[in-house]
Amino acid sequence: MYGLGRLSDARGERIRYSAFPAILAAILLTMTVWSHGSFALSMVLISLATGCIYGAYRVFRTIPSEYFGSRTAPGGLAFINTIGLLGGFASPACIGWIKSVTHSLDYALLLLAGVILLSAFGLLALRSRVQKRETFCLMVAPLGGQ
């Protein structure tokens, strides 16, 4: 987590340093599904996935204040916290329901990996949109200043 924070600060790439650990966490959770019979391997994969999720989360928390204005940042942070709290409320129920229907946690882990992967791709889509907007602003700014 510390290393990701330092790298994202040094390179100014917060979205990339939040999305790629999330993608890695999704891959590790998916690999956990196919590690049946090996408790040690499953524990290592889940531990690494958890570390990646926490690393992505720590870098992600710095993104809204960077891209929102000073007046809209508190509302954006509140909205993000609300989404996170809803996920924390709904995910145990979904995992329990999937386990009761399938009698296995495999599909629940795949669901979690899919949600994490979806959020990482959403961040990467935001990155390309922000880059296009910054490029457009750089192209228009000299014309407006003359």
pLDDT digits (tens, 9 = 90+) for 112-140: 999 999 999 988 888 776 665 555 454 55
The proportion of the chain whose per-residue pLDDT surpasses 90, expressed as a percent, equals 45
Q: How far apart, in whole angstroms, are the C-alpha atoms of residue 72 and residue 79?
A: 11
Residue whose structure tokens are 């340093």: 17
